[in-house]
Chain A
């Protein structure tokens, strides 16, 4: 019988009551007394020297309170990259400055170079149009191959060339990998593009800056996935505000997908403006600003090679990637194509030798950073495509080639040639489950039926793995991270026995408020309704690192369980005193502290009450109160894995792809709330299908984003998507966190794109149109062109 509460139950998302009835409290919903509005002037050219900005007309416009340009921030710091990457030659990566407002030079279309503060949004926008800027256009670097080949055109005038770093992973393995290729019986080579994506969170970015001159306190309401990280960046790196004088609040946040991890200049601007004019300053991006200035995702050009035996046994993998970082280094942009990408290039396979080379390239485009999956979708896509291609070249079944090479259960813990240690998994089990659930056996009959209707049917799969639960701090520190990646939770038991849990993780739609309460409920034996999860406010929560990289439950959830363990331990001491027993004899179960082997017991509520009304309490040896905090730094990454299949029909006349079925067999470790996990997979797969079939971010040769609205940038809609079959019965609990959880937030976006593309290639091949590869998105035009080439 399915559970109806606690761990493992599909408890309804309590946050949906407010989200679905319009009662959410998003940054844009907040109106403060005396609030003013900011609007930004953004570059309409990709690269130019700012010769002058005449603000006088704008300043004279009705309602205008202040105008800011880059000069106002010339003395403050810049927005730093979060990871310092070392190139193969030992040099440290280039880190050109990222100011609050562009100063001297605008570097991409949408780069903000001025801001107007006014009484109303309309006045601020109208005044922006009255700013007179004199740009001297500079050559724009748009295409990565050109950027690398030609040093004479540079994305930033301060650079000597456009390469940020040239990274090898692992450099010491390179010679052995090259040797394996030289003697391999078969080598498959594939060049592919991992298309740039615009994150398109439903809620655009927004910030309100507040300054209290009497206390010198700043407050920033902002759309952030990690308020403490934002506070650290703004306070210590950008503005030089003492950290304790800045309170960052990320209230309800409507999706992030990575794009709201990072600090953006608009956040610093509203704070500086609030101080200058002495009133709160609010800014809410419109959709065009989101397209132009949110950090984009993906954008890799990769050459991947797979060396194997004629029977499909993998011998070595070698990749060369150009990774676009745009015009500025966003906070995680250098980690994404390296440690979240190169380290995954073994996949779930036994491949003994792997070498990855990544060159990060500056271009005059919006910054590119982590986007749902971050590096791991790029790695998975490259691998899963080249494996399919190799199987075709060798006339082998792509399903069986994968099975032959999967790491087997007897090999765990398994250290990959790219330096990760997989603790546990069962990749055969998820593959078998996929074969069953996708009704692979019935595919031929379905294909024949499609053919009768004039359609070409295909079936494709991917077997994927990711590294989540980001991340062991010492390890990432050794690899160049400038932050720790622990998390923290405080469990505050109130005198009447109900509980507030303050967590460092941030929920921007995932459902933490429901799931974290389920976990605490199970551990303490008290109803979920008596537990509230508090997040998103640096004044309330312990210092945590926020949510991304499927880390919330694996890292922050673990901190929370450790804090609960401390509560239980203290409760036992209190109970021992009250029950006149020795602490060692106290057992805790189902919300009761009891003396082993007797019927003497105190309820959790009685213990909580006693902690705050300590009349009968061991005050000499024990502090009153019942509140505990724990910090947790993970011992390893977690390794969710799974097998996905996609079944498509392709229209031979038009190249239109229709998805007929999509099946997911996932191993997320223990599942706390199956309904929420399904929802995460559904959403992730929708994004992956969007990437595979529809989403095309296109800059023209001058660096204009020609797909800067929903007219031209096609997001998947319900009728573009199939009904999914999702299964997570083949789970192997994570071995190094107490809940045994691995994370499920990114899986769908990681596993799905190659399954879709493999299915289309399969459909074409079966119809006698052998096409090696089509780059995403597989628009009807591209599919048609490929099959008629």
Chain B
């Protein structure tokens, strides 16, 4: 065993898990797919004394259609979400982004809820859920509350979830018919965390961009969506020139940092190149 010693609790229901969280406080951590938590424990970067396994809670992995939204259980495995007909039909941006998340075997175990709560700043899923206007349903000792993605994702590996809460469901509104979307990513190898990725939603009406939502990872900005870029596109002619101007705004607004994989100058180039590709593809996908 590589991790420090811990106690293992298997939760049989959401209520059970929430009760266990309350009982053990900050000594405990929820265990979902284990694809982020277990490596950190093996490196002994974290050492929870109690693991509450939520991997076997009946119904926590269901994907259903709600009122104008797809409702994804927090325990749904990445590969199940990615392959889900409902998701592909109603939220194609999420399915697209998923093709860049990790590798097949990791996606077999990792869960959408674990991914969101872990909130790696390079992760694709929080970015697209923000663009899709998803709502996150949290269960706590005082009952459920719903937090919009916009305010759920805070800083790097930080979210609005409280220590005694558990994420139970993600509601993702349908992407409207006729909308164009796109997701582009650059990573060292396929399935690695992104150096930079770009996500876009928009519609094209009368030759102009509307309902524009654009976001990046790797840009070094505080928010995932870039309002300045959206403004540079909203209502403007759906031309290459508009796109070029918008990606320039993205570069200007960005503040990426150097790391082992890439320096800031290169990340700025990627913002521009991937931003352009994503906008062009979204434009092509949008029906006029």
- Answer yes or no: B261 CB below 8 A from chain A CBs: yes
Q: Complex Cα distance A784/B186, Å? A: 13
Report B-chain residues with C-beta under 8 Å of the C-beta of A784: 266, 269
A201 located at the interface, meaning its Cβ lies under 8 Å from any Cβ of chain B in the complex: no
Residues from chain A with a CB closer than 8 A to the CB of B277 are: 653
User: Which residues of A (121-136) have their CB < 8 Å from a CB of B?
Assistant: 121-122, 125-126, 129
Q: Which residues of A contact B265 (CB under 8 A)?
A: 785
Q: Which of A80-88, A374-382, A486-494, A714-722 contacts B (4 or more CB under 8 A)?
A: A714-722
Q: Which residue in A122, A694, A779 is a CB contact (below 8 Å) of B262?
A: A779
The smallest beta-carbon distance between B274 and chain A, in angstroms, is 8
Chain A residues with CB below 8 A from B195, complex form: 780-781
B261 touches A779 (CB 8 A): yes
A712 to B259, CA, bound (A): 10
Report whether A781 and B263 are in contact in the complex, using a CB–CB cutoff of 8 Å. Answer: yes
B273 within 8 A of A: yes
A280-B260 Cα distance, complex, nearest whole Å: 42
Knowing A714-B188, A717-B189, A784-B266 are in contact, say whether A706-B4 is a contact too (CB < 8 A).
no
Residues of A737-789 whose CB lies within 8 A of B: 779-781, 784-785, 788
* CB neighbors of A among B180-230 (8 A): 186, 188-190, 192-193, 195
Asked whether A714 lies within 8 Å of B2 as measured between CB atoms, the reply is no
B270 at the interface (CB under 8 A from A): yes
Q: Does A286 contact B (CB under 8 A)?
A: yes
Q: Which residues of B contact A781 (CB under 8 A)?
A: 195, 261-263, 266
A707 within 8 A of B: yes
Asked if A785 and B5 make an inter-chain contact with CB atoms under 8 angstroms apart, the answer reads no
B1 within 8 A of A: yes
State whether the Cβ of A696 lies closer than 8 Å to any Cβ in chain B. Answer: yes
State the CA gap A784–B274 with chains docked (Å): 14
Question: Does chain A have a CB within 8 A of B43?
Answer: yes
**Is A698 an interface residue, CB under 8 A from the partner?**
yes
A654 to B273: give the CA distance in the assembly, Å: 7
CB distance from A788 to the nearest CB of B (A): 7
On chain A, the residues within 8 Å of B192 by CB distance are 714
Please provide the chain A residues from 107 to 127 with a CB less than 8 Å away from any CB of chain B in the complex: 121-122, 125-126
Contact A696 B260, beta carbon cutoff 8 Å: yes
Q: Which of A656, A712, A720, A781 has the most CB atoms of chain B within a 10 A radius of its CB?
A: A781
> Does the CB pair B43–A780 fall under 8 Å?
no
Q: Contacts A781-B261, A781-B262, A788-B269 known; A288 to B189 CB distance under 8 Å?
A: no
- Bound CA span A653–B247, Å: 13
Total interface residues in chain A, CB < 8 Å:
30
Q: A286 — nearest CB in chain B belongs to which residue?
A: B2
- CB of A717, distance to nearest CB on chain B (Å): 6
Beta-carbon nearest neighbor of B4 in chain A: A126
Contact mask A515-536 → B, CB, 8 Å, 1/0?
A: 0000000000000000000000
Assess whether A653 is in contact with B188, with CB atoms less than 8 Å apart. no
Please give, as numbers and ranges, the residues of chain A lying within 8 Å of B190 by CB-CB distance: 717, 719-720
- Partner of B260 from A655, A712, A719 at Cβ < 8 Å: A712
Q: Give the contacting residue for B273; candidates A129, A653, A712, A779; CB below 8 A.
A: A653
Given A288-B43, A720-B189, A654 contacting B262 (CB threshold 8 A): no
Cα–Cα distance between A781 and B187 once the two chains are bound (Å): 10
Closest to B3 in A: A122
Residues in B neighbouring A696, C-beta threshold 8 A: 260
Q: Which residues of chain A from 455 to 493 have a CB within 8 Å of any chain B CB?
A: none
Nearest Cβ on chain B to A415's Cβ, whole angstroms: 45
- Asked whether, in the complex, the Cβ of A125 is within 8 Å of the Cβ of B270, the reply is no
Q: With A785-B263, A785-B266 in contact, is A122–B5 under 8 Å at CB?
A: yes
Which single residue of chain B is at the shortest CB-CB distance from A785?
B266
B 222-260 to A, binary, CB cutoff 8 A, 1 in contact else 0: 000000000000000000000000000000000000001
Shortest A193–chain B CB gap in Å is: 16
Residue in B188, B193, B265, B274 with the greatest tally of chain A CB atoms within 10 Å: B188
Cβ–Cβ contact B269 & A122, under 8 A: no
Inter-subunit contact B189/A694 (CB<8 Å): yes
Task: Give A640-656 interface residues, CB cut-off 8 Å to B.
Answer: 653-656
Q: Which residue of B lies closest to A719 (CB)?
A: B190
Residue among A712, A716, A780 with most chain B CB within 10 A: A780
CB distance from A202 to the nearest CB of B (A): 16
Using a CB-CB cutoff of 8 Å, which residues 274-316 of chain A contact chain B? Answer: 286, 288
- Is A706 within 8 A of B260, CB to CB? yes
Find out whether the CB atom of B270 lies under 8 angstroms from the CB atom of A654.
Answer: yes
A439 to chain B, nearest CB (A): 27
Contacting B188 at CB < 8 Å: which of A129, A706, A779, A788? A779
In whole Å, how far is A515's beta carbon from the nearest beta carbon of chain B?
33
A421, B276: Cα distance in complex, Å: 58
State in angstroms the CA–CA spacing of A698 and B276 once bound together: 32
CB distance from B36 to the nearest CB of A (A): 11
Residues of B within 8 A of A780 (CB): 186, 188, 195, 262, 266
Given contacts A654-B186, A779-B262, whether A126 and B5 have CB atoms under 8 Å apart is yes
The complex places the Cα of A706 from the Cα of B261 at a distance, in Å, of 11
Residue of B nearest to A714 (CB): B188
Q: How far is the CA of A510 from the CA of B42 in the complex (A)?
A: 32
Task: Give, as a whole number of angstroms, the nearest-CB distance from B97 to chain A.
Answer: 18
Interface residues of B in 51-104 (CB under 8 A from A): none
B58 to chain A, nearest CB (A): 32
- Write the nearest CB–CB distance from A710 to chain B, whole angstroms: 10
B261: chain A residues at CB < 8 Å are: 712, 779, 781
Q: Which of the residues A121, A126, A286, A714 comes within 8 Å of B189, measured between beta carbons?
A: A714
Residue of B nearest to A653 (CB): B273
Cβ contacts under 8 Å, A779 to chain B: 188, 261-262
Q: Compute how far the CA of A125 lies from the CA of B42 in the bound complex, rounded to whole angstroms.
A: 11
Closest to A700 in B: B260
Contact B1 A122 (CB under 8 A): yes
What string of 1s and 0s marks CB contacts (under 8 Å) between B1-32 and chain A? 11011000000000000000000000000000
> A392-426: contact bitstring with B at CB < 8 Å (1 yes, 0 no)?
00000000000000000000000000000000000
Q: How far is the CB of A122 from chain B (nearest CB, A)?
A: 4
Mask: chain A, 687-718; 1 = CB below 8 Å from B; 0 = not: 00000001010100000001101011010110
Chain B residues near A286 (CB-CB < 8 A): 2, 42
Within the complex, the shortest CB–CB distance from A774 to chain B, in Å, comes to: 13
Chain A residues lying within 8 Å of B276, measured Cβ to Cβ, are 653
A326→B201 CA distance, assembly (Å): 52
Q: Which residues of B contact A653 (CB under 8 A)?
A: 269, 273, 276-277
Closest to B193 in A: A711
Complex Cα–Cα for A785 and B274 (A): 16
Closest to A716 in B: B189
- In the assembled complex, which residues on chain A have CB atoms less than 8 Å from the CB atom of B2? 125, 286
Cβ–Cβ < 8 Å partners of B270 in chain A: 654
Which of A656, A712, A788 contacts B186 (CB under 8 A)? A656
Pairwise interchain contact B266-A707, C-beta atoms closer than 8 A = no
- Distance in Å: Cβ of A17 to nearest Cβ of chain B: 25
Contacts of A706 in B (CB 8 A): 260
Set B1, B4, B262, B274: member contacting A121, Cβ < 8 A = B1
Tell me the complex Cα distance, A404–B78, Å. 57
* A122–B270 CA distance with the chains assembled, in angstroms: 44
In angstroms, Cα B43 to Cα A125, docked, is: 12
What's the nearest-Cβ distance from chain A to residue B199, in Å?
17
**Extra inter-chain contacts (5) besides given A711-B193, A780-B186, A784-B266, CB under 8 Å:** A286-B2, A714-B189, A717-B189, A720-B190, A780-B188
Could you list 12 examples of A-B contacts with CB < 8 Å? Answer: A129-B44, A653-B273, A654-B186, A698-B260, A709-B43, A712-B261, A714-B192, A716-B189, A717-B189, A720-B189, A779-B261, A781-B263
Q: Give B contacts to A, CB under 8 Å.
A: 1-2, 4-5, 42-44, 186, 188-190, 192-193, 195, 260-263, 265-266, 269-270, 273-274, 276-277
8 tightest Cβ-Cβ pairs between the two chains A and B: A653-B273, A781-B262, A781-B266, A122-B1, A714-B188, A784-B266, A698-B260, A654-B273
Chain A residues close to B by CB (< 8 Å)? 121-122, 125-126, 129, 286, 288, 653-656, 694, 696, 698, 706-707, 709, 711-712, 714, 716-717, 719-720, 779-781, 784-785, 788
